[in-house]
């Protein structure tokens, strides 16, 4: 059954709004995702929302109808409310007409099957939600397994990150851990740890990358700490032909990741 909510002061509205904050997400183990495209992506990846909120002034869309039915069939709640209240929930003007509440699903490091994918990202102290979400989206595009988060990264389940991921939050494993824990785990099996660095002259197209490749992406402002660089099996550099000395973190990740997958493509043809 679809339930209607009309008041801003409704406790559920307050609860949903609170999910914009990390502490409330943590406590509830839930996060918000917006928009028909991302919610359909989630469904196709096997995730249905615990709560589906829709705007009462939205034109009915066949895909939205499907989502409503499937959410109800799976025991979830479906709430209809005003576009204004939806905007309040996601703190965005012109909010999407659909918002879903999903259980967060961090993957423990020990649960990763590293050989299930040829490539994994390791984000180190990544601070920008747009970068982290874009990294997930790139991971999906290149067939990566997921993003391992070390040090003080931005919350992977924030509204902004989920938005930038364009649904990849549901297809990529999200693995929050610590650097030492990650390094210990890495060395118990196969895996080449690759960092991009200004402190090397090795062009990124030089080496043949070994699967699974673990690509480290350093903090946006500072890059990788020196001892992290030393722990890498390979340090490489993306050529910079102009005045700037670096690329945006997610852009550099994409250039590296496509080099890795392109090498595999060449190897198999």
**Closer to a second copy at the Cβ: 199 or 262?**
262
Is the CB of residue 205 less than 8 Å from the CB of residue 187?
no
- Residues in CB range of 184: below 8 A, 6 or more apart: none
Q: Is 41 in the site for a second copy (CB under 8 A)?
A: yes
Question: Which residues inside 138-197 make contact with a second copy, applying CB under 8 A?
Answer: 138-143, 164, 166-168, 171
CB of 49 to a second copy, least distance (A): 18
CB of 140 to a second copy, least distance (A): 4
**Closer to a second copy at the Cβ: 18 or 246?**
246
Q: What is the gyration radius of the CA atoms in the chain, in angstroms?
A: 20
Q: Is 265 in the site for a second copy (CB under 8 A)?
A: yes
Alpha carbon of 159 to those of 108, 127, 139, 265: distances in Å? Answer: 22, 14, 19, 35
CB of 180 to a second copy, least distance (A): 30
The tokens for 106 are 């961090």
Q: Is 247 in the site for a second copy (CB under 8 A)?
A: yes
**Closer to a second copy at the Cβ: 170 or 214?**
170
Residue 75, phi-psi category: left (phi > 0), alpha (psi -120 to 50), beta (remainder): left
- Residues in CB range of 20: below 8 A, 6 or more apart: 32, 89, 90, 91, 158, 159
Q: Residues in the site for a second copy, rule: CB under 8 A?
A: 41, 44-45, 130, 134, 137-143, 164, 166-168, 171, 205, 238-244, 246-248, 250-251, 254-255, 258, 261-262, 265
């Amino acid at each position: 059954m679809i339930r209607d909510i009309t008041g801003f002061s409704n406790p559920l509205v307050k609860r949903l709004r609170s999910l914009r904050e990390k502490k409330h997400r943590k406590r509830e183990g839930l996060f918000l995702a917006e928009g028909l495209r991302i919610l359909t992506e989630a469904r196709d990846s096997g995730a249905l929302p615990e709560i589906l909120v829709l705007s009462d002034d939205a034109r009915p869309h066949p895909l939205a109808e499907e989502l409503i039915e499937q959410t109800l069939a799976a025991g979830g709640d479906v709430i209809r409310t005003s576009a204004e209240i939806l905007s309040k929930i996601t703190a965005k003007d012109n909010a999407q007409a659909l918002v879903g509440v999903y259980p967060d699903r961090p993957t423990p490091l020990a649960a990763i099957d590293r050989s299930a994918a040829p490539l994994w990202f390791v984000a180190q102290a990544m601070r920008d939600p747009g970068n982290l979400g874009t990294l997930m989206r790139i991971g999906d595009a290149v067939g990566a397994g997921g993003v391992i988060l070390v040090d003080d990264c931005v919350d992977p389940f924030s509204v902004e990150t989920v938005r930038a991921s364009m649904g990849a939050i549901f297809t990529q494993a999200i693995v929050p851990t610590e650097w030492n824990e990650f390094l210990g785990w890495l060395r118990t099996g196969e895996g080449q740890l690759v960092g991009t660095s200004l402190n090397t002259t090795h062009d990124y197209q030089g080496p043949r990358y070994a699967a699974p490749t673990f690509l480290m992406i350093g903090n946006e402002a500072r890059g990788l700490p020196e001892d992290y660089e030393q722990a890498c099996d390979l340090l490489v550099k993306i050529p910079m032909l102009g005045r700037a000395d670096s690329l945006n973190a997610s852009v550099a990740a994409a250039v590296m990741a496509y080099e890795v997958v392109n090498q595999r493509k060449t190897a198999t043809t």
